[in-house]
Amino acid sequence: MPVMSERKKKHHIDYTDKKVRQEVLVRQRRELWSPEQVRSLAKHFRLRPGMHMLDCGCGLGYAMQTWGPYVMPGGRLTGLDPVPDLLNKARRNLDRDRLGKAAGFVQGDIRDMPFDDGTFDITIAHVVFCHLAEQKQALDEMIRVTKPGGCVAVFDNAVSGGPQGGWSSIHKPTVESELFDLEMGLRALEGIRRLGQGDFRVGCYLPLWMEARGLEDVDVRCNDRVRWVAPPYRSAAQQTDWSNTRERIRARITRPRPERVYYKQLRAGGADEKSIRRMQNRNRRSFERLRKSARNRTLAYAWSSQFWCIWGFCPEGGQRTKPWGKKT
């Protein structure tokens, strides 16, 4: 096996390494919601000191860390996740933020949670639904464990296919190339769904589903952060983004999914081999261009993801759920 040079070793980031993946995850969260929008959502959720919050699929505890302070003092936080290692890390993160004393952690599954009906004032799921095949079941469980009058809030992808909103100095888009990207984007989404790996359009359905399940005052917001950098990368936000981008390039993280997985999804979504080869070649060329322009400090881009927050309130008393209608 070739020995890795010292220089490479220093910069090498192994994206398959769990710790790195988790770091990338945390950074991605901060790229979604600005502090102003976090505050504004806390108002929309009607958060007050003393409330009990459940974070379903809590991972490293981002939602508890972000909205937990709005239920303090006197509030309680419960994080649920099937992965014990993540629960331990979330506990450490909350301790660091001085929220540890108010927090408890439970190993479990959002589709069948070990809590009594009407336990929580607010129930959150942040980037969990897109990974589930049984999304409606998860929503029903969230509603079940929420108190009458309590809030159910789901944060998730609302990807409608194709390139996400944005522009980059390394691409000169033509109608033809945009149409190709759109087709491949839709095929990847369809592949993910067919492989039972979830559905990244789920954000678009959730307002209708919440309404159909009898939640009140259902409302939606889109994430407000637009990541943009342009030379000479002056502001603090740009410098952070610029350094994250260079780190990803060094680690060859050009897209969130490893390529092997991505091409499998494209195939499952019905893409033919010729298109997949074209995509591979394009990706290779784009990556080289990206690397070169990052090295020359000419890279510029503006990019936003299609990510929504959808929330609603359980009615005070009364029957909350009815059978799913055919159209929902």
C-beta of 125 vs 299, nearer to ligand SAM = 125
**Span near ligand SAM by CB under 6 A; candidates 126-134, 179-187, 213-221, 237-245:** 126-134
Q: Indicate whether 60 belongs to the interface with ligand SAM (CB under 6 A).
A: yes
When binding is defined by CB under 6 A, the residue of 54, 70, 81, 145 that contacts ligand SAM is 81
The SS3 of residue 70 is: helix
Q: In what order do the strands lie in the sheet with 120-126?
A: 103-107, 76-81, 52-56, 120-126, 146-157, 307-313, 216-222
Among 163, 223, 216, residue whose Cα is nearest residue 188: 163
- At what angle are helices 259-268 and 273-295 packed, to 10 degrees? 150
Site of tokens 């949670």: 113
Q: How far apart are CA 325 and CA 34, in angstroms?
A: 36
**Span near ligand SAM by CB under 6 A; candidates 33-41, 123-131, 166-174, 291-299:** 123-131
Dihedral pair phi/psi, residue 228, rounded to 5°: -145, 140
Strand pairing class (103-107; 76-81): parallel
Q: Indicate whether 126 belongs to the interface with ligand SAM (CB under 6 A).
A: yes
Q: Shortest Cβ distance from residue 22 to ligand SAM (Å)?
A: 9
Q: How far apart are CA 196 and CA 264, in angstroms?
A: 13
When binding is defined by CB under 6 A, the residue of 47, 51, 52, 59 that contacts ligand SAM is 59
**Span near ligand SAM by CB under 6 A; candidates 78-86, 97-105, 139-147, 313-321:** 78-86
C-beta of 51 vs 58, nearer to ligand SAM = 58
Show contacts with ligand SAM in window 129-168 (CB under 6 A).
131-132
Q: Indicate whether 57 belongs to the interface with ligand SAM (CB under 6 A).
A: yes
Q: Which residues bind ligand SAM (CB under 6 A)?
A: 25, 29, 56-60, 62-63, 81-83, 86, 109-111, 126-128, 131-132
